[in-house]
Amino acid sequence: MARSNGVKNRGNGAAKEKASNGNIVASETGNQRTDYSRWRLLDEAGCQTWHYLQTDEEVKEWPQTIADKYHLGMDTGLPNLPPPKTPLDSARNALSFFSHLQLPPGNWACEYGGPMFLLPGLVITWYVTETPIPEPYKIEIKNYLYARQHQDGGWGLHIEGESSVFGTAMNYTVLRLLGASAEEPRVVKARGLLHKMGGAVNGPHWAKFWLSVLGVCQWDIVNPVPPELWLLPDWVPIAPWRWWIHMRQVFLPMSFIYSKRWSYPPNDLTRQLRQELFTQPYESINFLSHRNSISPRDNYHPKLWLLNTVNWALVNVWNPYLRTSALVRKAEDWTWWLIQAEDENTNFSNLGPVNGPMNTLCCYIKEGPDAYSVREHRKTLEEFLWVKGEGMLMNGTNGVQSWDTSFLIQAAIEAGFATDPKWKPMLIKALEFLEDQQIREECRDQHLCYRQQRKGAWAFSTKKQGYTVSDCTSEGAKAVMMLQEVPGYPKLISDDRLGDAIDVILTMQNASGGCASYEPQRGSEYMEYLNAAEVFGRIMVEYDYPECTTAVVGALSMFTKHYPEYRKDEIAAFKARAVDYIRKAQRPDGSWYGSWGICFTYAGMFALESLASVGESYENSERVRRACKFFLDHQMDDGGWGETYKSCETGEYCQHEQSQVVQTAWACIALMEAEYPDPEPLKKALNMIMGRQRSNGEWKQEAIEGVFNKSCMISYPNYKFIFPIKALGMFAKRHGNIKLL
Ligand code: LAN
Mean pLDDT for the stretch of residues 429-457:
97
Q: Which of 354, 468, 505, 517 to mutate to test the pocket of ligand 1 (most atoms within 8 A of CB)?
A: 517
Q: How much distance in Å is there from the Cα of 205 to the middle of ligand 1?
A: 20
**Cα(202) to centroid(ligand 1), Å:** 26
663 pocket-lining for ligand 1 (C-beta < 6 Å): no
471 is catalytic: yes
Question: pLDDT tens digits, residue range 483-525?
Answer: 999 999 999 999 999 999 999 999 999 999 999 999 999 999 9
- The reported pLDDT for the residue numbered 26 is 74
- Amino acid identity at 273: L
Mean pLDDT of the region 10-38: 62
CA of 358 to the centre of ligand 1 (A): 18
pLDDT band at 18 (very low <50, low <70, confident <90, very high): very low
Checking if the pLDDT of 20 tops 90, the result is no
- Percent of the chain residues topping a pLDDT of 90: 96
Average pLDDT, the chain: 95
Q: What pLDDT is recorded for position 433?
A: 98
Helix, strand or coil, per DSSP, at residue 124: helix
Given a cut of 60, whether residue 292 has pLDDT beyond it is: yes
**Ligand 1 atom with minimal separation from the 249 CA:** 31
Residue 240 has pLDDT above 50, yes or no: yes
**Ligand 1 within 6 A of 352 CB?**
yes
Our mutation pick for probing the ligand 1 site, out of 596, 606, 712, counting the most ligand atoms within 8 A of Cβ, is 596
Q: Is the CB of 471 under 6 A from ligand 1?
A: yes
- Closest by Cα among 448, 446, 476, 472 to 459: 472
CA of 596 to the centre of ligand 1 (A): 8
| pLDDT beyond 50 at 365 | yes
Residue range 179-196, pLDDT digits in tens: 999 999 999 999 999 999
Q: Average pLDDT of 259-274?
A: 98
CA-to-CA distance for 354 and 358, rounded, in angstroms?
Answer: 7
**Average pLDDT of the segment spanning 358-379:** 98
Q: What is the mean pLDDT of residues 266-285?
A: 98
* Centroid of ligand 1 to alpha carbon of 363 (angstroms): 25
Per-residue pLDDT at 24: 79
* pLDDT grade for 28, boundaries at 50, 70 and 90: low
pLDDT at 432: 98
The catalytically annotated residue of 298, 404, 471, 544 is: 471
22 — pLDDT class (breaks 50, 70, 90): very low
pLDDT, tens digit, 9 for 90 and up, residues 67-77 = 999 999 999 99
Q: What is the mean pLDDT of the segment spanning 446-450?
A: 96
**Residue 16 confidence (pLDDT) above 80:** no
Does the Cβ of 547 fall within 6 Å of ligand 1?
A: yes
- Structure confidence at residue 10 (pLDDT): 29
Q: How many helices (DSSP H) and strands (DSSP E) are in the chain?
A: 26, 10
pLDDT of residue 456: 98
Residues 6 or more apart whose Cβ sits within 8 Å of residue 14? 26
C-beta of 460 in contact with ligand 1 (< 6 A): yes
**667-696 pLDDT tens trace:** 999 999 999 999 999 999 999 999 999 999
Task: Assess whether the C-beta atom of 94 lies below 6 angstroms from ligand 1.
Answer: no
Give the distance (Å) from ligand 1 centre to CA of residue 357: 17
Q: Whats the size of the chain, residue-wise?
A: 741
Task: Determine whether the shortest distance from the Cβ of 645 to ligand 1 is under 6 A.
Answer: no
Q: What is the pLDDT of residue 399?
A: 98
pLDDT above 70 coverage of the chain, percent: 97
Segment 528-545, tens digit of pLDDT: 999 999 999 999 999 999
Could you tell which of 536, 592, 708, 712 is best to mutate to test the pocket of ligand 1, judged by most ligand atoms within 8 Å of the CB? 708
Q: 517 CB less than 6 Å from ligand 1?
A: yes
Nearest CA-CA partner of 473 in 576, 403, 375, 380: 403
Whether 534 lines ligand 1, by a CB cut-off of 6 Å, is no
What confidence score (pLDDT) does residue 469 get?
A: 98
Give the pLDDT score at 6. 38
Is 404 near ligand 1, meaning CB less than 6 Å away?
Answer: no
| DSSP annotation string for 398-454 | S--HHHHHHHHHHHHHHTT-TTSGGGHHHHHHHHHHHHHHS--SPPTTTTTTTPPP-
596 in contact with ligand 1, CB cutoff 6 A: yes
Q: 684: CA distance to ligand 1 center in Å?
A: 33
496 to each of 440, 454, 455, 478, 575, how far by Cα in Å?
Answer: 11, 14, 11, 15, 21
**What's the pLDDT band for 2 if we cut at 50, 70, 90?**
very low
Mind listing the pLDDT tens digit for each residue in 62-117? 999 999 999 999 999 999 999 999 999 999 999 999 999 999 999 999 999 999 99
pLDDT at 45: 97
Given a cut of 70, is residue 661 above it in pLDDT?
Answer: yes
> Above 60 in pLDDT, residue 170?
yes
What is the pLDDT averaged over residues 255-262?
Answer: 98
Q: Tell me which of 358, 397, 547 to substitute to probe ligand 1's pocket, judged by most ligand atoms within 8 Å of the beta carbon.
A: 397
Distance between CA atoms of 687 and 90, rounded to whole angstroms? 10
- The per-residue pLDDT for 3 is 40
472 C-beta closer than 6 A to ligand 1: yes
> What's the rounded Cα separation, in Å, for the pair 475 and 473?
6
How far does residue 708's CA lie from ligand 1's centre (Å)? 6
Q: Which atom of ligand 1 is nearest to the CA of 396?
A: 22
What is the per-residue pLDDT for 25? 78
Q: Is 505 exposed, middle or buried (0-12, 13-18, 19+ CB in 10 A)?
A: buried
